[in-house]
Amino acid sequence: MNVLALFVLILSVFWLVIAGFSLQSAAVGLMTILFVVWWNRDLLRTLIRGKVSLPGKKMLILAGYFFSLLWQIVLANIQVARILLSRKMPLQPVVVTFNPGLSSDLSKTVLANSITLTPGTLTLAVEGDEFTVHTLTLSAAQDVVDWPLINLLRRLEGERE
């Protein structure tokens, strides 16, 4: 079986489990899946052929980044809930600009998206090496500048294998 067809089949089953078993849902899902697979066909073929690989140490750093990001999202959810549930609602909106010291565009993109995924923070702009981020509180602004995930991205950039 063609690997792209297998990928379409796997995504279709996933779609039906998530969206339910109606004819309309199946039709919309299949059209969307076919478009996504067609749009990414070169990337999928490259991944299937094994031309893209990550060394073991990079995989460990990426796994650490993923779990650290999940933990940071949980912590930020708790912090935002405390702010919203507080009688005084201690909001101190801050816009902070900083240079995380990342060199690759991929690392900068991952960081910008990670900041935006974290409740209470929003990446407003990335211009060159400068990040502009909006936070709900002053302490959150200080935390973003010293975020442990930035160090993981720096380590990932520094790995040469």
Question: Terminus-to-terminus CA distance in the chain, angstroms?
Answer: 34
pLDDT in the model for residue 114? 93
Flag whether pLDDT at 160 surpasses 50: no
Question: Would you say residue 96 has pLDDT above 60?
Answer: yes
Percent of the chain whose pLDDT exceeds 90:
32
Q: Quick one: pLDDT band at residue 150, thresholds 50, 70, 90?
A: very high
pLDDT at 132: 95
Q: To which residue do tokens 């407003």 refer?
A: 124
CA dihedral of residues 30, 34, 40, 41 (deg, nearest 10):
140
pLDDT band at 159; cut points 50, 70, 90 = low
Comparing 120 with 60, the larger pLDDT belongs to 120
Q: Taking the model in full, what pTM does it have?
A: 0.66
- 66 CB neighbour count, 10 Å cutoff: 12
Residues 40-82 pLDDT 10s? 877 777 766 665 555 667 778 888 888 999 999 999 999 899 8
At 12-46, the pLDDT tens digits run 888 888 888 888 888 888 899 889 888 887 777 77
Instruction: Report d(CA 116, CA 149) in Å as an integer.
Output: 13
Ranges of H-type helices in the chain: 3-19, 23-39, 41-49, 56-85, 105-117, 138-145, 148-158
Q: Tell the burial category of 50 from Cβ atoms under 10 Å away from its Cβ (0-12, 13-18, 19+).
A: exposed
